[in-house]
Amino acid sequence: MVQFYSPNRRSVNRGIISVTADNLDAQGQGIARHQGKTIFISGLLPGEQAQIQLTEEKRQFAKARIVKRLSDSPHRVAPYCPHFNVCGGCQQQHVATELQVNTKASVLEHLIQRETGIRISAHPIIHSPEYGYRRRARLGLQYHAKQRTLLMGFRQSQTNDLVNIKHCPVMRPELEQLLQPLHQCLNRLQAVKRLGHVELVLAESGPLVVLRHLDPLKHEDKQTLRTFSLQHQVAIYLLGDEKSLEPLMAEQAAPWYQVDGLKLVFSPQDFIQVNDGVNQQMVTQALAWLDLQPTDRVLDLFCGMGNFTLPIATKVQAVVGVEGVAELVASGQYNARLNQLHNVDFFHANLEAEIHRQPWAAQGFNKVLLDPARAGAAGVMAHIVKLAPEKVVYVSCNPTTLARDSKVLLEAGYHLVSVRMLDMFPHTGHLESMALFCSEPMDIE
């Protein structure tokens, strides 16, 4: 048989080696060094020694699994969730919270220094409760033919297999207590083999469930769901396809949440921050950093349904929110009217366009906030510079793109004044942050 050489294919040394972890990455992997190579080991904490076996080897780094752990770190704690190590939802329940958050802050500081050359502290950290923080969760549904039962849960780490979830302590208790009765309810449906996923959301108005079904539901199934809705005081929405969301019962009130004393009504499909407690602190911090005054004109880019825009509107002359998703723009406009805010305008626009040339930008802005998706805001950074605001607050769900985009502002003469790590998703590898840039140097307490 002919064999072909592949320069990218590397043999993995299957031997057992002993290492001691000296650091932790944001994903909760231990970092060790062996013969000059960095090795990432899932489940190993700094200071712990273990026998490991390489599972993947690249030129600059390798990955490994633990064969036997030889010592325990004082930062190792017992995972609270019975599904930990199987469910892929959390990666760090074995790590003490203090080590988790300080590691993420260090990663953020390192990325910013590497990309910009600036050494800056990401403290004080905006903290979250360890558990019971998640007010939104999507669970997969899959009918298991051999067991003749429905699986409902999250994906197993690095596979497409579902882990049947009975408990999820990172969920808000009002949602976690619905898991088992909801599973029993869905398992009784005639359409049980044709369900896609279920989403649980906790609004101020109460919990709600969005059920994705692949075929039209029969009357009997809808009646089963109505009974569940009434018994558990849950609003149910049916999603026949990605655009056909409809309430199970016509009298269901629209869900809403509060931020900075305002009421924001939303569609169950609208994006809202998963961690309400951190969201409240994040909005408060952003408004404080912007130092809002009655004469300010503020631009909020990637504004969603107005999570920042509407609180800003209560303190300034005018604010403009710009968003690329039309449904979120409509929600923002509705909520501005609901809260009787007449100095705010929302626009549906392509944020890759030259925003400083848009008609709504003609009067200029002296302060800017942006909250982009993971890809960052590379397409708008140069346009923000042309607006020449006094202050820019950048809220980020990806420290790599935050560090990259920061360079545009710094090269234009802005000063990186303050950075915060947001503990939005405890026990996971997600790292949220926010940064303040000013046209003039200043001190922030």
Catalytically active residues are 397
Cα dist from 331 to 110, 134, 237, 321, 336, whole Å: 38, 22, 18, 12, 9
Known binding positions: 81, 87, 90, 168, 273, 302, 307, 323, 350, 371
Task: At 205, list the tokens.
Answer: 């108005």
297-301/367-370 β-pairing: parallel
E strands, 16-72, in order: 16-20, 23-24, 29-34, 37-42, 49-57, 61-69
Q: Work out the burial of residue 31: count CB atoms within 10 Å of its CB; fewer than 13 is exposed, 13-18 middle, 19 or more buried.
A: middle
Phi/psi of residue 277, nearest 5 degrees = -60, -45
Q: Could you give the angle at the alpha carbon of 169 between the alpha carbons of 194 and 85, nearest 5°? A: 80
CA dihedral (293, 299, 304, 306) positive or negative: positive
CA angle, residues 348, 354, 360, in degrees to nearest 5: 50
| Token digits of residue 378 | 């590379």
Are the beta carbons of 172 and 134 closer than 8 angstroms? Answer: yes
Contacts of 191 (CB under 8 A, 6+ apart): 213, 214, 215, 217, 218, 221
Tell which phi-psi region holds residue 117, choosing left (phi > 0), alpha (psi between -120 and 50) or beta: left
β-strands 256-259, 16-20 pairing = unpaired
Q: Which of 366, 347, 372, 346 is nearest to 434 (CA)?
A: 372
How far is 307 from 280, CA to CA, in rounded Å?
Answer: 10
